[in-house]
Structure 1
Amino acid sequence: MPEHGCTSERVVSHVRSRLVLIRPLATLVSIVVPILLVTSTQPVKAASGNLVFATFNVCKVACAAPAPSWDIRRDRVARVISESGADVVGLQEATNNPTTTAKTQVADIQTLVAPAGYVSPFFTVDSNECRRPRDAQGELTGPSPCDNSAALLFRAATVEQVTTPTGLPSAGIVQVGAIAPGIDAVSAARSVAWAYLQGKNGAGPFLAISLHLDSNKDVIAESSRIAVGQALGGWVNWMNSIQGMGGTPAILMADLNSYAKRQPNGVQMALTSAGWVDAHSARLRRNIQYSTINYNPRLGEGSQGFPAAPYKFQKTKKNPKGEATRIDYIMGYGTGLRVIDYEVVVYLTGKAFNTDYQASDHQMVKATFAFP
């Protein structure tokens, strides 16, 4: 893992709880399509409004030592998400592996954050490229073809799923290899969660994407990460085209496993060169002196991932703003999108981590975007 450490002062967010019922997609289509068919060939124009987005690598069930067990961390993960105030959350390392309390880690998280009003986008099995194969009788015949590690949540009080003009599924899971054909097999097998959403305040619609790229540091994996960065904008444009959503902006929430000091021409550079706006460029930034991940040689052996206190970057001649390294990103793609603020979310007691919120070897990252 690259060097990173994160901490930020506790930010208290008020989250309204709400019971949410998710309708099957077929029901949504039957209600909305008669209205949308009138203008199905027209792009859906985004309305004005602001929304808060978050990306959070929660660390898989078997998170490496010295991480506490998932049974301990699960409540911490839920606490960070529920108190974040984020309208949309992209999760990474939220796996399909079982926990002691749920069939999958993703399902466990969904249950834990439901009281705070968070739900996942609805999609059918046909919209999931990572579904397990079945025979003609419907019996499972093998494992998922994917490395399942990406998921999406949204706050139902402020955001809703969109029914697109073409009536195609408005959410799903694809493989990274479908976005950037020709990359290495390990990188290609990563899952990507996507959904068309819109804010109830008039923000959007937009395409939300949660992505987790391979962490391997060899030349092949690095080439694949860069290829994804070069291809993602084109994939967004293609998705918008087939959905009848031309011109719809996209928000990427991702663990890219790339940072500027080690990989100055890495995937993050490929994305910004292709027109993606890095939320880190916001004028208002909080806790940028803390890395998005708690791996740093200065933390010492035995403290990597879950140190007692985060490493705090200092201002120097080479780093006049004291900016920490980061591998977790939020980026926007589309005309008129503006970044309002950016934050590395860290909870401290004095200089030490507040263990009630020390949920992962990553910190959550948040950003507010204004839609045109």
Structure 2
Amino acid sequence: MARRILAFLAAVLLAGGTLHLTAPAASAASLARPTGLSVTEVNYESFVFSWRAVAGATSYTGKLATNSTFTSGVQYFQTSKTTRKPINLKNCTTYYFKVKANKGSSTSSSYSDTKKVTLKCFWPREFTRIKAVPKSGSSIGLSWTRPEYATRFEIWRSTASDFTKNLVKVQTSKDWYVDENLSASKPGKSYYYRILAFNKSNTTNVRYSPKFEANLKPAVPSGVKVARTSPNGATLTWSTTWNARQYEVRAATDAAFTSNVKTLTTSDGRNRLTFNTLASGKKYYFQVRAVNGLKQNIARSAYSSTVSGTTSGTGVPLTVMSFNVLSAKYDGGVSSRSWNNRKPAIAATIGSSGADVVGVQEAYASDDYPGGDGVTPQWEDLRKILATKGYRRALTGTDGLYAYSQCGKDGCWRDEYQLDGNHIFYKSATVKPVGNGGKISLPNPDDRGSGYTASWQVFEKLDSKARFIAVDTHLYAAGITTRGTNESNRVAQVTGILDTLKQVNTASLPVVLLGDLNSHESHKPISTLLTGGFANTAGLDVPQTKANFNSSHGFQNPPPSTFGTQIDYVMVSNDIAAKKWELVANIDPATGRFTGTIPSDHHAIKAVVTLPQ
């Protein structure tokens, strides 16, 4: 065979011919590169990609990487199929891939065009720990445990809990952040935060932290002093400080604050607080610290310097009551609400109370109420039945007359009419009126014929000769919850009472203020009284009975019980110590319903207090 091939080659060359050689198998025609790459089933850690089959191809080689130049995270694979599913990849990552065709082990096409795909991102897991601490009076530090799969965060901060005001957004990849250059304020205010966790650049699968409140550090109160002491109490005042929403005041019988420690907190940002249940004739030490915050991450300052004061000796006990008895003219057509049906229950409530002084409201001068005789006004009808219980009515600057037959002239009832239903009754066995007392004309925003008034009377305890002033009033009623102008009208009336008391109380006697003030404790009329030298006997430092019931119930049965909706008050000047507070009502504890006749649409409010000796 070899000889034949050599002879053939020699013959060709001798004849002057050209020799044409055929290429070996390895140099056969090139394969086409794959086309039609597509991606399906994109998941968190895998995807499927496919391509069109290439004629003559026996296998395919693929290349996968995390960058388009195929230099990072490179993976290779070989398959005889036209589809591939890489697994165990990184979620939320963009991958690039391409593929080439092979024929046998030595022939390959060029690579296809590059295709890319971004895997789905795992949701960041729930936040498990978030910490907010005041760094200073103008910065708050936030830190949190990084949720699994979270790679970056966005912090929201607002001055409103619903994030509708002054919203600021800050991005970070860290698991902590110091929010700086915040505004110190007087009084303090809360900031509200929420942290959003993302997995890389994905903005669809976002994890929200719970909303939370954070607060700036308040300054230490200064100017602390004991303004006044009473037999069982002491009133503290201090200068308001930056970032303080409230104040904590503590009292103790030793300077180290280890003995008989009592701590009270103001319900708002006022810089005055009264203790009512201290021991008489004993030295106490006091400190104040500022508090900023409402519910979460409360910030507190250090305690102020210490001041001391000694409570006065044993005082004189006094029981007082405020009771809105409801106008006799309006019974709503319900027989049980008529004046004649309710009147015995009102008399029983007052007669069994043990109160030395009672301020009633809405006992008007009208005599044309249902069931009336057309001659006797409501207040006189009440006076007659309370006389059987040992109570008399203080004249408070009036003549006590109401008919022509009594005084012999027209209009003699007018001074009683202008009391506007506010009358003071007293238990003649325990106290007596001193002088004629008087009435205070208050601003009249709706031009009511009788106007608005406060009745006042000086009394003397028969057993001790201790004297005090009782004031009874009923403030403007419109818009208790809407406030605004309505609240301003009541503030003007309160201011009128305070200004007049400064004029008539020349002897600086203790004062008891009774009335339907048509304001909740957080409202400005009440805070005006508090800053004007009064304390609410329903304060935290007083044992309370039935404090869960609203003071006004509107004949609902069971009566509403939602706390914080008191509009009827017994207020005392800061030289009087409150001992007990009670909402007076016959309520079955098992059912929460009234028993017997409901006396009025308001509950009576009673307080036991101690006058200075």
Asked whether the 8 Å contact 2:394–2:423 carries over to 1, the reply is no
Which whole-Å CA distance do the structure 2 matches of 1:184 and 1:359 have between them? 28
Counterpart pick for 1:52 among 304, 316, 319: 319
Q: State the match for 2:431 in structure 1.
A: 159
Asked whether the 8 Å contact 2:520–2:564 carries over to 1, the reply is no
SS of 2:345's equivalent? Answer: helix
Counterpart pick for 2:455 among 193, 196, 199: 193
SS of 1:280's equivalent? Answer: coil
Cα displacement (A) at 1:235: 1.6
TM-score by length of 1: 0.69
Cα displacement (A) at 1:185: 3.8
Counterpart pick for 1:333 among 562, 570, 573: 573
TM-score by length of 2: 0.43
Q: State the match for 1:12 in structure 2.
A: none
Cα displacement (A) at 1:143: 6.3
Alignment of 1:262-281 (within 5 A): 264-281=522-539
Asked whether the 8 Å contact 2:361–2:515 carries over to 1, the reply is yes
Amino acid at match of 1:259: H
Alignment of 1:133-152 (within 5 A): 138-140=409-411, 146=418, 148-152=420-424
Distance change >3 Å, CA 188–CA 62, structure 1 → 2: closer
2:328 counterpart of 1:61: yes
State which drifts further: 226-235 or 55-64.
226-235
Distance change >3 Å, CA 287–CA 172, structure 1 → 2: same
Which whole-Å CA distance do the structure 1 matches of 2:326 and 2:587 have between them? 20
Amino acid at match of 1:116: K
Structure having the higher strand fraction is 2
Which whole-Å CA distance do the structure 1 matches of 2:586 and 2:385 have between them? 20
Amino acid at match of 1:228: Q
Cα displacement (A) at 1:230: 3.1
Distance change >3 Å, CA 61–CA 116, structure 1 → 2: same
Amino acid at match of 2:604: M
Q: State the match for 1:347 in structure 2.
A: 586
Distance change >3 Å, CA 362–CA 185, structure 1 → 2: same
SS of 2:514's equivalent? Answer: strand
State which drifts further: 146-155 or 205-214.
146-155
Which whole-Å CA distance do the structure 1 matches of 2:557 and 2:425 have between them? 29
2:557 counterpart of 1:283: no
Cα displacement (A) at 1:354: 3.7
Which whole-Å CA distance do the structure 2 matches of 1:157 and 1:93 have between them? 25
Which whole-Å CA distance do the structure 2 matches of 1:187 and 1:221 have between them? 19
Which whole-Å CA distance do the structure 2 matches of 1:209 and 1:278 have between them? 14
SS of 2:583's equivalent? Answer: strand
Cα displacement (A) at 1:310: 1.6
Which whole-Å CA distance do the structure 2 matches of 1:265 and 1:292 have between them? 16
Asked whether the 8 Å contact 1:187–1:214 carries over to 2, the reply is no
Amino acid at match of 2:411: L
Asked whether the 8 Å contact 1:48–1:203 carries over to 2, the reply is no
Q: Whose radius of gyration is greater, 1 or 2?
A: 2
Distance change >3 Å, CA 123–CA 273, structure 1 → 2: closer
Amino acid at match of 1:307: Q
Structure having the higher helix fraction is 1
Alignment of 1:251-330 (within 5 A): 251-260=512-521, 264-281=522-539, 282-294=541-553, 305-313=554-562, 323-330=563-570
SS of 2:322's equivalent? Answer: strand
- The number of aligned residues is 285
2:501 counterpart of 1:239: no
Counterpart pick for 2:381 among 84, 108, 114: 108
Counterpart pick for 2:490 among 225, 229, 234: 225
Cα displacement (A) at 1:138: 3.9
Structure 1 gap segments, 5+ residues each = 1-45, 164-169, 295-304, 314-322
Distance change >3 Å, CA 131–CA 192, structure 1 → 2: farther
Q: Deviations over 1:133-184 (max 9, x none)?
A: xxxx943399677471200000011111124xxxxxx32333224xxxx866
Which whole-Å CA distance do the structure 1 matches of 2:545 and 2:584 have between them? 8
Which whole-Å CA distance do the structure 2 matches of 1:142 and 1:77 have between them? 24
Asked whether the 8 Å contact 1:57–1:91 carries over to 2, the reply is yes
SS of 2:486's equivalent? Answer: helix
Cα displacement (A) at 1:84: 1.2
Which whole-Å CA distance do the structure 1 matches of 2:536 and 2:402 have between them? 32
State the identity as a percent: 23
Q: Deviations over 1:87-140 (max 9, x none)?
A: 1000001111115256111111111111211001145647x9x999xxxx9433
Cα displacement (A) at 1:358: 1.1
Structure 2 gap segments, 5+ residues each = 1-312
Which whole-Å CA distance do the structure 1 matches of 2:396 and 2:442 have between them? 18
Amino acid at match of 1:117: G
Q: Deviations over 1:295-330 (max 9, x none)?
A: xxxxxxxxxx112212233xxxxxxxxx34110001
